[in-house]
Amino acid sequence: MIGEELLHHRNSILFILISVFYFIQVTINIFIEGLASIFPPAFLFIVFVIILILLIHKKVNPKLTMYVLVCSMYLYFYFLLKDSPYLVNYLFMWLALPLSAIYQNSRVVVISGIASIILTFYSFFYLHCEIFPNVGSEDFVYLILYGVFTTAFLLIFIHKLREANVKLQELAYRDPLTGSANRLLLKVKFDLLKEAKVHSIALFFIDMNGFKRINDTYGHEVGDQLLERTVSRINGVVRDTDILCRLGGDEFVILLSNIDKQILASLSERIHATLNKPMIMDDQKIKVSASIGWAYTIEVSHADLENLIKEADRAMYKVKGNKLIASESLDHMKD
């Protein structure tokens, strides 16, 4: 799934950042105290690294790996401060809080903020002489306020970032005129259905008849309104799990899953009936109609989106051709 893949990617990034940070911290400690100063915390870090490499490499529950990564950071800092109680190590500990924000997960940031404050409490009251020899006890509140404000800032930042991501996704995955899915989102949803191993996939291809004539007669603004109304009408018929996509112009497709083949004919008739109703726009009654074709498969693992679209498109043109022949026959009989 997309969410799990993204989470796995962020786990990998955080692991790399932690490793880089660790080697910087070790280098500083060796420079200050010598090589012996990095042990025994180095042994603990090696254990954490082995566990994390296995979790990330095997892609074991990315969400669980995320929490293990964050908890491992703070466990390591606890043992580091206990073994080497220096101000530089305490300052390094605070870097774990912004690092945790890489997940854009409010819960993780809150957990990291609480863990940072707990380690601040431990460092200030149990390692005071080593880390804060010239700091009065009354200054403890400022360290806590720093942790609270940093956590609050990161939470606000994540909230704003999520809002921006939603807007960007709307631009990337939605048709700007009708708000329906575009071809990119259609492909994403199709791949998700294949990964979910649904038992069937169906695809409707819908073409609005005479749309160019409506555009030429009433103007492009009315044509745009017609497309918006078309999307609204189709959404009123299909299920919430179905994906309506505008391919371009007056062509639409509907992606459906876990549906019996016998239902498709009746669903096609319902969509056809709702799209054949006249539309009132700018006090004008406009007659509209649609041609619909569909494709269906239960061989989901071997299904190809483009092939399904082509198959449904051919079926739609067959329906459109039959309508044209019937219309011409009717006109001939009238003559």
Asked whether the bond before 133 is cis by omega within 30 degrees of 0, the reply is no
* Three-state DSSP state, 285: strand
For residue 254 the two structure tokens come to 């509907």
* Three-state DSSP state, 30: helix
283 φψ region: left (φ > 0), alpha (ψ -120 to 50), beta (else): left
Q: Answer whether 41's CB lies under 8 Å from 84's CB.
A: yes
Lookup result for tokens 């459109």: 320
Active site residues: 250
Listed residue (242, 244, 254, 156) closest to 205, CA to CA: 254
Lookup result for tokens 């009065």: 136
DSSP secondary structure string, 34-69? -GGGGTTHHHHHHHHHHHHHHHHHTT--HHHHHHHH
> At a CB cut-off of 8 Å and minimum separation 6, what does 269 contact?
none
The DSSP H or E segment spanning 281 is strand 279-281
* Three-state DSSP state, 304: coil
Q: Answer whether 281's CB lies under 8 Å from 226's CB.
A: yes
For residue 265 the two structure tokens come to 């004919």
